Amino acid sequence: MKLYGGVMFMDDQTYSQAAPSAYFQGNVYPINCDNPLMSSDQAAILCGAAAGTATNVNTFVGYRFAGAGGARIDDLRHTDYRMNLGSRGDIASGWTYDVSYLFSRVIYDESYKNDLDLNKGARALQVVNVGGVPTCRSVVDGTDPDCIPANVFSAFGISDEAYGYLLTPTFTHGVQTEKVANLTINGDLDQYGIRSPFASAGVAIATGVEHRTEDLTFEADALAQQKGTKENAGEFNVKELYIEADVPLVSDKPFVDELAVNLGYRYSDYSIQGGTGFTADTYKFELRYAPMSSFKLRSSYNRAVRAPNITELFAAQALGNVAAQDPCSGANPEQSLEDCIRSGVTETQYGLIPECPADTCVTLGGGNLGLQPEIADTYTYGFVFTPSFLPSFTFSADYFDIFVDGYIGPVDAPTIINECLNGGSEYFCSLFHRDPVSGVLFGTNGYLTATNQNTGYLQTSGMDFTSGYNFDLGNLLPGVPDLGSIDISFVGTWLNSRRTEPLPGLDSYNCVGLYGPTCGQPSPKWRHNVRMTWTSPQQSTTVSANWRYFGSVGLSSNDFLLDDEGTNYIAMNRRITGYSYLDLAATWKWVESVEFRAGVNNVFDRDPPVIAAGLLSSFGNGNTYPGVYDPMGRLVYFGMTVEF
């Protein structure tokens, strides 16, 4: 019996600067027509004949706090704890066990500084003249003696004192906990003579049970809730039983160096607080065949599931920005009145609905207790080549074809808009929630419902290539002293298809070589990493260079293909050229237990492509795709590892 365990603690804090806060368009505020901060022309435009009176007019206010006091800072902190304890050892001849328990907790705290308090914002717009001094009405009537008027009628008109009154931090807090108990038993049945008569090794099995529990709580202060954040909590647990067997069939025979199969099965039973729960079966079959020791063929079939995680189930529903535009907005809407009425537009609103500002509408996202697991079928076929005439060289190629049905995610805004306004779908039209007064799809009262759903399917296929070669420099020429060794590795992927069906029954589309509002994050046909590493003769020092390459992609909004003359539907960002990055890294082992490391990523400081906000989609942020392209520029790092 061997006892083992480990503990981990991590604390990280990030300060993220966002664009200044604002009176964001979409919220309606009453403004009194005798507000002394308005010019006479502004009062006439806003109030008409009521100008100069105490009449209130409900008004859209869009005013970015560009002054020195309006900067927004997002203070994010995560504190993580993890502990695992276990025991492993022998049960009997050929049988071993491993039993373990894991507890982990992540604590999340966020303070969103300098955000507009909507109630204070409304009071600061109700301003009257008191002895020639603009004064908040709430100061006059005593309901808020601290109110400072906000002059939104001129650029940079809001004073630092008004910023100090209007802007308030919001606070949110979350805790996520996971507990896992696991028992695995491994058996070498060769000990009992259970083997193929044509194989030199026997059957091996692994079986076990596991129980997992996850829970989540999320809390928000009153101001955060006023801004649309909702509190939530939930829990689920899963019980699993699994078994796997590796069965050698033939070995060490003419034209059959190895022939073996691998089989596996897992049963999962999910219980979800407040939901119906579900069960899932997963299984696999793998075949290995090596006609000779230097060449191996392999193929597999896997039925897999991905159960919804705790965030997808229980995340509080909240409003968020999304790249989109409302075809029913503007003085001359793109869509007809009949089409727009299906999406909730009234006849009196038609032609008067403001456009989503900066091509940014709003969606309502969040969890869904009715989610079911994603189901995937994966087929792979490949080979491994390790020639005897070239020692230390290996090359493998594997074709993959993956089909995921009922994948979990929100329905994207362009699909909702298109299927309602052009397709006439009642389901998609029911996802529109227009502001009842203005008809807009932004602000706190106008949005598209886009909570998590089991949507359509994803299908992808292509080939993965890997290769490696290692050689000693001292062996290149006779008499040359030992100069260490060189290791070259290559990993590349050729993408054949990346097909998506947003919802069952809708047309599918292929996003290979494309990006944009429909396809989301770029999916080039080719990408690779090539790394060369030099290791010193004493193996105390390594120096490596890595070439990262990401192929070119086109804009999916251009109907996926250019015509024969190369005409584009959208010219801006119609193509992102291929991107190459060079990274350098080095390690130096000072003594056996102390190692230093350093490196430079993106040595040539290449900037990411700048993409128009309206062309970004999933995983797009900061006018680029930071999950693909390097948004940080040249990054220099140093580190040290000490072993006790």
Is the model more confident about 371 or about 181? 181
Q: What mean pLDDT value characterizes the chain?
A: 91
Q: How far apart are CA 621 and CA 377, in angstroms?
A: 32
Position 476 scores a pLDDT of 66
Q: pLDDT tens for residues 262-290?
A: 999 999 999 999 888 899 999 999 999 99
In the chain, the N- to C-terminal Cα span, in Å, equals 24
Tell me which residue of 514, 512, 357, 335 sits closest to 443, measured CA to CA: 357
Most confident stretch, 113-122, 392-401, 550-559, 624-633: 392-401
- Model pLDDT, residue 562: 42
pTM, full prediction: 0.79
Query: Would you state the pLDDT for residue 96?
Result: 97
The alpha carbon torsion through 624, 625, 629, 633 (nearest 10 deg) reads 50
CB contact set of 565 (below 8 Å; sequence gap of 6+): none
**What ranges make up the beta strands (E) of 117-166?**
127-130, 133-136
Say which residue, 378 or 627, is predicted with more confidence: 378
pLDDT digits (tens, 9 = 90+) for 556-602: 877 544 444 445 556 778 889 999 999 999 999 998 899 999 999 99
Mean per-residue pLDDT, 368-385: 94
Predicted confidence (pLDDT) per residue in 468-500, tens digit:
999 888 766 666 677 889 999 999 999 999 998
Over residues 531-552, the mean pLDDT reads 94
Give the tens place of pLDDT for each residue, 163-204.
999 999 999 999 999 999 999 999 999 989 999 999 989 999
What pLDDT score does 27 carry? 80
- Three-state DSSP class for 213? strand
DSSP code, position 443: S
| Integer Cα distance of 121 and 84 in angstroms | 50
Q: By the 8 A CB rule, do 48 and 98 touch?
A: no
Q: How confident is the model at residue 257 (pLDDT cuts 50, 70, 90)?
A: very high
Q: How large is the C-alpha radius of gyration of the chain? A: 31
Q: Give the pLDDT confidence of 93-125 residue by residue, as tens digits.
A: 999 999 999 999 999 999 988 889 999 999 999
Whether 136 shows a pLDDT value over 80: the answer reads: yes
Ramachandran area for residue 424 (φ above 0: left; ψ -120 to 50: alpha; else beta): left
Pairing of strands 432-433, 127-130: unpaired
What pLDDT, on the 0 to 100 scale, is given for residue 105?
A: 98
Q: What number is the average pLDDT over the span 216-238?
A: 90
Measured from the Cβ of residue 549, the count of other Cβ atoms closer than 10 Å reads 15
What average pLDDT score do residues 613-627 get?
Answer: 83
pLDDT at 517: 80
**What is the reported pLDDT for 565?**
46
Contact between residue 63 and residue 44 where contact means Cβ atoms under 8 Å apart: no
Residue 265's pLDDT is 98
Residue 618 has pLDDT above 90, yes or no: no
